[in-house]
Amino acid sequence: MRLKKILKIGNIGISLALVLLVSCKTEKTASLPKDQLKDQLVDKVYPLLDTENSRWFFFSSASRPFGMVNLSPDTEIKGDWGGGYKYTSDTIKGFSHIHEWQLSGLSVIPVTIIGESKKNIFKDFYSKFSHDTEKITPGYHSLVLDRYQITSELTSTKRVGFHKYTFPENAQKAILFNLNTVLGPCDNTDGTLEKNNDYELSGSLIMSTNFRRPKPVTVFFKIMFKTPIVSVEKDGATGNYLVSFGKSDKVVLMKAGISYTSLENAAINIQEELPHWDFDKAVTESKTEWNNLLGRIKIEGGTETDQRRFYTDLWHALQGRKMISDANGAYPDNTGEKFRIGQLPLDADGKPKFNQYNSDAFWGAQWTINTLWGLVYPEIMDEFVHSLMQYYKDGGMIPRGPSGGNDTYVMTGASATPFIVSAIQKGLVKDDLESIYQALKKNHMLNGIMGKAGYEHNTSIGGGLKYYMEKGFVPYPLPDGNFGSHQDGASQTLEYAYQDWTLAQLAKKLNHDEDYKYFMDRSKNYQNVFDKTAGWMRPKNVNGEWLANYDPYKYETGFIESNGAQSTWFVPHDISGLADLMGGKEKAADKLNTQFEAAQKLKFTSGTSHDAELHPEFSRIPINFGNQPSIQTSFVFNLLGRPDLTQYWTRNVVKETFSGLSPSTGYNGDEDQGLMGSLNVLLKIGLFQMNGGTDANPEYQIGSPIFNKVTIQLNPKYYSGRNFVIEAKNNNPGNIYINKITRSNTAVEKFSITHSDITSGGKLILEMSDKPKQ
């Protein structure tokens, strides 16, 4: 997901063949302090995956799952894309605490003053470092700042960064608080720091506005040291601060509690989450928390690299979308004209019933976290639904990509609808269903979120919803003009039709018969942008005329971050209906198979980075697994009566595109806060939901798992079963086809299984072969 960019061909400086090469760099092994236990799942995670193609919120190291604090080194500080930690950069420019969707802040770096004036250190403080001395694992990051010879170790709780700096003997120790600086998506301004006593500081800064987040956000922070402070000096030119310490203590420990509401709550966050000074204990606790979540899925078989890559993918699925509420339930509400501090409901013990979250869009989530979270982490999906509804209660609209307490209106459509409907259909959310339905319905009607194009804050025109409702399609170009990003009418029509279908399923569940019929009728609007003569989805102008000189392989011409060939298959709610338009399932399967054969030549993605898909050669790929619009396509074959092709192409996609461990590649496109990581997990365990799990008894399509055995631990709070096991007998890289399926000694004739069958527990046995089932 991103704004349309102009690609400078001359800057690519690399041939097609070179772009598609997989890095042959020696794999770097993550490690922990030596007192940590070995052979735990967290040790299999490879945090450096794809870090040559980084993004501000992409990389994570010293953080907890969904934590407010995402503490890590910054090697690049300017820009959302390529910002944060980038493997190819060899200079540390600070350790900052917030790497999140349109948020950044509190950058610090330890320094020594010997041989340098304090005045110059404010302007010149960057330090080289080497990956050879770097240690990274989920919850922990350590490296040596070469310039100062300071060993810097980082860990955190959910809302508190914990730093351990080991200085050279007799060094003049200091920490620079670079509060006024650009960090990723926004400038940090008005930074202040105040000494409270010899061991404590308080401060704040403002994250400036940008076109995605037009309201400023203040981050408050409480700083605590175990070593006494000697002095706090402010630089008049930069407005930044240097905190100095004595020479006696070699190690400086620092806690940094943050809050988006107040200094008091920043202090409370430290008190609640990190009352001690035991750094190794905090690292261990973080490791345990990650292990518990990663351990929900146990795998057997495959290579060591396969297993490491799998847990890296699963880690990505759990590291995005950070909380913005404090430990006591206070949170920033920016949905109104004036900023206010909201308060989440509390349980009988006085603890918040859920957290409030920041989040990039749910665009594409129907094929990723809808399924993974709903099955393996139902408590997370449940909590996010409540968070989305809190936005509705505050501001009157369910968001699709909130940042700093208000929606950014990133991407298009009502992408939260399938997410919430899936949670309801799976029985995760059971209360206030009528209120939820009415809130979702509002987004699908005029003046709702469906009428807004990307980043359209003040109008509801760019989404073209009035034309969709009147004419049955969104025109391209929109005759009203440009109001936001992604005003690509054919894609908007396809999205709205699918999302309408998902809302219709909830209407049916709640006995809203007229609404059910109305939204089901709207869900057929995809037919209005299918050109039977051309055989592709095709944009129409406001008069209903097909786009002239149409090229289905031309990128972003009526289609969002895709071309017409890729988006033709975006009908997840009615594959049979789409096949009928194409002349039947056999012809549809042949057409899609031809697309996969062509896409295989480019390893199923538009290059190895998100920017590369704008390249005129890469962008013409007919299927792209590097961005969301066509990541479902290998499972379309299941619904066209060709499960063998689902098995064949999914295995090939995993092998060619999502198998390596390298800083130079990994997701080969756009990893939007866990969406591509989630997709990888699902492809590799052989479970997928075409319509996002939004039907009455959600159905999973069965694919070809790469592991011999997959054991999913079910949450007893939500599901009756204890474990669900997928066992693939005779599985190996050559035996990719499923010849027989049984569940509890009963034959499964279709290549699908219901949600209730899985969550009641049991075993699914797949008999694998090197030949398709006859």
Say what the pLDDT of residue 2 is: 45
DSSP 158-190: SSEEEEEEEPPTT--EEEEEE-SEEEBTEEEEE
Say what the pLDDT of residue 16 is: 31
Sign of CA dihedral 673, 675, 676, 678: positive
- The tokens describing 428, both together, are 């995760």
Q: How many CB atoms lie within 10 A of CB 83?
A: 24
Say what the pLDDT of residue 150 is: 98
- Identify which of 491, 550, 494 has the alpha carbon closest to the alpha carbon of residue 527: 494
Beta strand spans in 528-616 (E): 530-531, 536-537
Alpha-carbon span 62 to 267, nearest angstrom:
20
DSSP 90-125: -EE--EEEEEETTEEEEEEEEEE-TTS-HHHHTT--
Half-sphere exposure of 155 (CA within 13 A, CB side): 24
Whole-model pTM: value is: 0.94
Say what the pLDDT of residue 632 is: 98
pLDDT single digits (tens) 111-137: 998 766 777 999 999 999 999 999 999
For 547, residues 6+ apart whose C-beta sits below 8 A from its C-beta are 476, 538, 539, 540, 541, 557, 558
Say what the pLDDT of residue 615 is: 76
Alpha-carbon span 387 to 325, nearest angstrom:
10
- The tokens describing 521, both together, are 């009728």
Strands 723-729 and 762-769: parallel
The H or E element that residue 605 is part of is none
Q: State which CATH number among 1.10.287.110, 3.30.420.40, 3.30.70.1060, 2.70.98.10 fits the domain covering 42-294.
A: 2.70.98.10
CA angle 34, 73, 141 (to 5 degrees): 10
Alpha-carbon span 709 to 299, nearest angstrom:
6
Answer whether the bond into residue 402 is a cis peptide, omega within 30°: no
Number of continuous H segments (helices) and E segments (strands) in the chain: 20, 33
Say what the pLDDT of residue 38 is: 53
Helices (H), 452-584: 465-471, 489-509, 513-522, 564-567, 575-581
- Identify which of 213, 208, 177, 175 has the alpha carbon closest to the alpha carbon of residue 190: 208
Q: Cα-flanking dihedrals φ and ψ of residue 73, to 5°?
A: -70, 150
- Judge whether 721 and 709 are in contact, CB under 8 Å: no
Half-sphere exposure of 300 (CA within 13 A, CB side): 12
- The amino acid at 389: M
Report the chain's C-alpha Rg in angstroms.
26
- The tokens describing 706, both together, are 């790469």
DSSP conformation class of 355: -
Say what the pLDDT of residue 614 is: 74
Alpha-carbon span 401 to 416, nearest angstrom:
9
Q: Which CATH class is domain 368-524?
A: mainly alpha
Q: How many CB atoms lie within 10 A of CB 39?
A: 6
- The tokens describing 95, both together, are 């350790």
User: Alpha carbon of 130 to those of 91, 92, 127, 175: distances in Å?
Assistant: 9, 10, 10, 21
User: Alpha carbon of 652 to those of 79, 594, 682: distances in Å?
Assistant: 35, 15, 14
Strands 200-207 and 241-245: unpaired
Residues of the chain with pLDDT under 50: 2-37
For 583, residues 6+ apart whose C-beta sits below 8 A from its C-beta are none
Strand-pair partners of 174: 111, 244
CA angle 397, 402, 403 (to 5 degrees): 140
Say what the pLDDT of residue 25 is: 37
Alpha-carbon span 407 to 358, nearest angstrom:
9
Alpha-carbon span 194 to 201, nearest angstrom:
5
Alpha-carbon span 327 to 336, nearest angstrom:
23
Say what the pLDDT of residue 656 is: 95
- Judge whether 465 and 480 are in contact, CB under 8 Å: no
User: Alpha carbon of 170 to those of 199, 225, 236, 245, 246: distances in Å?
Assistant: 20, 19, 28, 11, 9
Residues belonging to the chain:
774
- Judge whether 693 and 426 are in contact, CB under 8 Å: yes
Say what the pLDDT of residue 32 is: 38
DSSP 37-88: PSS-GGGG--TTTTGGG-BTTT---EE-TT-S-EEEE-SB-B-SBT-B--TT
Domain assignments of the chain as residue spans, ordered by start: 42-294, 368-524
- Judge whether 490 and 558 are in contact, CB under 8 Å: yes
- As a three-state string, the secondary structure of 280-333 is HHHHHHHHHHHHHHHCCEEEECCCHHHHHHHHHHHHHCCCCCCECCCCCCEEEE
Say what the pLDDT of residue 81 is: 86
